[in-house]
Amino acid sequence: MIPAWKVKREILRFGKQFKAVVPILKGWPDRVRYDVQMRPQVIRTEGKLVLGDHVAIVLMYQPSGLLPSFLRHLDHLRDKGFNPLIVSNAPIAPSDLERLKDHAALIVQRPNFGYDFGGYREGVMTLADRGPMPSTLIIMNDSNWFPLRDNCTLIETAMADPADLYGIFYNTKHIKVNHRHVQSYFYRFGERVLHSPNFLTYWRRMPLYNDKFLVVRRGEVRLSGWFAERGFTINTLLKPEAIRDAAIQMSDDEVRRVIDMSMKSDLREAHIFAGVIARIEAGQPWREEADRVLQNSRFAYYLMNAHPALFLGRLNMPVMKKSRELVFWNQRRVVIEEGWLSQISPMLRDEVLHWDDDFVPPELSAQEVVKGQHGVISSRT
Q: How high is the pLDDT of residue 312?
A: 94
How does strand 106-109 pair with strand 377-379? unpaired
Residue 238's contacts (CB-CB under 8 Å, 6 or more residues apart) are 168, 169, 170, 303, 315
Domain final residue pick, 219, 238, 257: 238
- Assess whether 189 and 250 both reside in one domain: no
Query: Burial letters for 61-90: b for 16+ Cβ neighbours within 10 Å, e otherwise?
Result: eeeeebbebbbbbbebbeebebbbbbbbbe
Q: Is the preceding omega at residue 147 within 30 degrees of 0, hence cis? A: yes
Same domain, 190 and 305: no
Collect all residues with Cβ–Cβ distance below 8 Å to 311 and sequence separation of at least 6: 303, 304, 317, 320
Q: Are residues 353 and 232 in the same domain?
A: no
Q: Does residue 370 lie in a domain region?
A: yes
12 assigned to some structural domain: no
Q: Is 216 within a domain?
A: yes
State the residue range of the domain holding 132. Answer: 29-238
My answer on whether 232 and 245 are in the same domain is no
Number of domains the chain contains: 2
Q: Are 53 and 136 in contact (CB under 8 A)?
A: yes
Q: Choose one of 203, 238, 273: the last residue of a domain.
A: 238
Widest CA span in the chain: 76
Are residues 229 and 338 located together in one domain of the fold? no
Q: Kindly report the pTM of this predicted structure.
A: 0.87
Digitized pLDDT (tens) for each residue of the chain, 381 residues in all: 566 655 455 454 544 444 445 577 787 788 899 889 999 999 999 999 999 999 999 999 999 999 999 999 999 999 999 999 999 999 999 999 999 999 999 999 999 999 898 999 999 999 999 989 999 999 999 999 999 999 999 999 999 999 999 999 988 765 555 567 788 899 999 999 999 999 999 999 989 888 877 766 766 788 999 999 999 999 999 998 888 899 889 999 999 888 887 776 666 667 778 889 889 889 999 999 999 988 887 778 888 988 999 999 999 999 999 999 888 998 999 999 999 999 999 999 999 999 999 888 887 765 555 544 444 444 433
Tell me how far apart the alpha carbons of residues 4 and 166 are, in angstroms, rounded to a whole number.
Answer: 54
Q: Does residue 227 share a domain with residue 271?
A: no
Q: Is residue 145 part of a domain?
A: yes
pLDDT at 379: 40
Is residue 16 domain-resident? no
User: Looking at this protein, which amino acid is placed at residue 237?
Assistant: L
Together in a domain, 79 and 195: yes
Kindly state whether residues 201 and 328 are assigned to the same domain: no
Q: State the Cα–Cα distance between residues 89 and 116, nearest whole angstrom.
A: 8
Q: Is the separation of the CB atoms in 188 and 138 below 8 Å?
A: yes
In a domain, 177, yes or no: yes
207 with 280, same domain? no
Q: Distance between CA atoms of 108 and 44, rounded to whole angstroms?
A: 5
Do 149 and 200 lie in one domain? The reply is yes
In a domain, 267, yes or no: yes
Please identify, among 209, 238, 267, the residue that sits at the C-terminal boundary of a domain.
238
Residue 360, C-beta contacts closer than 8 angstroms, at least 6 positions apart: 366, 369
- Residue 14 within a domain: no
Instruction: Phi first, then psi: give them for residue 3, nearest 5 degrees.
Output: -60, 145
User: Both 177 and 256 in a single domain?
Assistant: no
Question: Do 228 and 292 fall within a single domain?
Answer: no
The CATH code of the domain that includes 180 is: 3.90.550
- CA–CA separation, 56 and 79 (whole Å): 12
